């Protein structure tokens, strides 16, 4: 324990012996673990995997993306600390909190109230008593960092406006970019850029949200054991299906697409995937950015005979040629999910009526999709792609599928490379 931490250590002891924490040995053990890490100066290195294995007894195969135990219990500690300082700890000399989104405890020494005004001093940051169902404040999010879609919409709209205002100053277009985007630029149809906004489930009266890739429709909530367990832990609030979040890679992708196409195509609109109707796919050119599982119900009319198909953990090669693997497997460490290598699949085909242009950018991770978009908007990467997929006549095939490998560090794509491609034909 570092010098000057005697009082916070004593406060932790008081909290662990309080009636508020008496009923849960798991929360007491987890709070002690977090306190020891904070006092030793090691809290900044904590992550969900380490907490799950070292404090909660999870096996080495523990995957925080599939098991929300750590986030759930950390949220319960925040709730219990708030309860403790509203009642038993309202006069304690030290105030300890666990900031939202972090695993590092913070504390402050409370100033002693003046003797002449003892009633004028209130417990810092204490909240008025509210029903238990409203105390869950931990945002539980599976599959990556997310941002509100309203921010994405406003940001992208401003981006397109600025791009159009600076058309004469734009030097991004190269012959290779021109070739890659020619069908969309030359088309007289409006272009829709649709960004995935996956389904989440919220709990009424709380700030708790759950996302699982196998919960694809609102009706799927009724059969989910995870949702049922979380709902019981929160006091059985109503469950609400939401499309309120956009993955961070999709936000950056919309920036890149808007920056590039906004200077050449006046009728580009940015839409959330959940709001794109089948009619829109038939009457407009469309670029889809997101996991295929989000869009699969809307792809039934696309004139595509695939040679490659996305999977939850990679890309499947349906008809491997000699020397080609049948599966391109993603490599992401469960202990460091913000780092790794994933494969992205770019597919171009005709729309439902056989005339509109359709292109999708998909990967199991949002940063893989961002990397694929970078390959189609960065001049140097576009040149590399063009040289790989051009026909003997020097043109881009009307229909194709491209596999790219995207290496990312701290959620940022740092290397994007070509793997293979197939020229595809339309369905009869």
pTM summary value: 0.61
pLDDT of 217: 75
Q: What is the pLDDT of residue 206?
A: 85
Gap between the Cα atoms of 172 and 165, Å rounded? 15
For residue 269, what pLDDT is reported? 87
Q: Which of 201, 170, 190 is nearest to 276 (CA)?
A: 190
Report helix, strand and coil shares of the chain as percent, to nearest 5.
40, 25, 40
Q: If you count DSSP H runs as helices and E runs as strands, how many of each does the chain have, helices first?
A: 13, 18
pLDDT digits (tens, 9 = 90+) for 143-183: 333 444 444 444 444 444 444 444 444 446 899 999 999 99
**Whole-number average pLDDT of the chain:** 79
- Name the residue ranges covered by the structural domains of the chain: 6-129, 165-196+247-423, 200-242
Region of 305 on the Ramachandran plot (φ > 0 left; ψ -120 to 50 alpha; else beta) = beta
**SS3 at position 424:** coil
Look at residue 157 in the predicted model and tell me its pLDDT: 46
Contact 381, 416 (CB under 8 A): yes
pLDDT of res. 407: 95
- What's the pLDDT at 289? 92
Cα torsion 399, 296, 287, 315 to 10°: value is -60
Q: Is 168 helix (H, G, I), strand (E, B) or coil?
A: helix
The pLDDT profile of the chain, 428 residues, written as one tens digit per residue, is 343 567 888 889 899 989 888 878 888 889 999 988 888 888 888 898 889 888 888 888 888 888 888 888 888 888 889 888 888 888 888 899 998 878 989 888 876 554 444 444 444 444 333 333 333 333 343 333 344 444 444 444 444 444 444 444 444 689 999 999 999 999 988 998 988 888 888 888 888 888 887 777 777 788 888 888 888 998 888 888 887 788 889 989 988 998 898 888 888 888 887 776 655 566 788 898 988 766 655 554 555 678 898 888 999 999 999 999 999 999 987 778 889 999 999 999 876 656 788 899 999 999 999 999 999 999 999 999 999 999 998 899 988 999 999 999 988 899 999 999 999 875 43
User: Tell me, what's the pLDDT at 417?
Assistant: 96
Quote the CA–CA distance of 360 and 349 in Å, as a whole number.
9
207's CB contacts (< 8 A; 6+ apart) are: 136, 137, 138, 139
Q: What is the pLDDT of residue 149?
A: 42
Kindly report, residue by residue over 117-127, the tens digit of the pLDDT: 444 444 444 43
Model pLDDT, residue 112: 57
């Amino acid at each position: 324990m570092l010098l000057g931490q005697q009082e916070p250590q004593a406060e932790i002891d008081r909290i662990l012996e309080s009636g508020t924490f008496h009923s849960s040995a798991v929360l007491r053990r987890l709070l002690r673990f977090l306190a020891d890490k904070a006092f030793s100066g090691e809290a900044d290195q904590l992550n969900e995997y380490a907490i799950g294995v070292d404090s909660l007894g999870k096996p080495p195969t523990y995957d925080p993306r599939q098991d929300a135990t750590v986030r759930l219990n950390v949220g319960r500690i925040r709730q219990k600390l708030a309860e403790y300082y509203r009642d038993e700890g309202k006069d304690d000399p030290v105030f300890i909190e666990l900031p939202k989104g972090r695993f590092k405890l913070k504390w402050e020494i409370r100033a002693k109230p003046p003797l002449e005004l003892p009633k004028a001093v209130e417990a810092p940051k204490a909240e008025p008593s509210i029903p238990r169902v409203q105390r869950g404040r931990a945002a539980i999010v599976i599959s990556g960092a997310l941002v509100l879609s309203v921010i994405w919409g406003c940001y992208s709209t401003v981006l397109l406006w600025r791009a159009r205002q600076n058309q004469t100053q734009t030097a991004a277009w190269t012959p290779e970019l021109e070739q890659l985007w020619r069908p969309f630029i030359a088309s007289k149809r409006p272009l829709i850029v649709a960004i995935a906004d996956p389904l989440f489930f919220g709990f009424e009266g709380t700030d708790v949200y759950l996302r699982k890739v196998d919960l694809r429709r609102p009706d799927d909530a009724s059969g989910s054991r995870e949702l049922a367990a979380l709902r019981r832990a929160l006091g059985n609030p109503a469950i609400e299906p939401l499309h309120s979040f956009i993955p961070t890679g999709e936000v950056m992708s919309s920036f890149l697409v808007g920056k590039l196409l906004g200077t050449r195509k006046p009728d580009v609109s940015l839409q959330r995937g959940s709001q794109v109707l089948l009619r829109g796919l038939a009457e407009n050119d469309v670029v889809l950015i997101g996991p295929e599982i989000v869009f699969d119900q809307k792809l039934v009319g696309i004139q595509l005979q695939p040679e490659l198909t996305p999977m939850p953990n990679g890309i499947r090669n349906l008809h491997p040629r000699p020397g080609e693997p049948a599966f391109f497997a993603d490599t992401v460490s469960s202990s460091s999910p913000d780092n790794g290598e994933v494969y992205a699949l770019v597919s171009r085909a005709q729309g439902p009526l056989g005339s509109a242009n359709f292109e999708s950018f998909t990967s199991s991770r949002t940063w893989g999709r961002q990397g694929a978009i970078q390959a189609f908007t960065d001049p140097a990467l576009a040149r590399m792609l063009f040289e790989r997929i051009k026909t003997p006549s020097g043109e881009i095939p009307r229909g194709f599928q491209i596999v790219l490998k995207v290496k990312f560090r701290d959620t940022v794509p740092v290397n994007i490379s070509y793997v293979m491609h197939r020229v595809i034909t339309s369905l009869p």
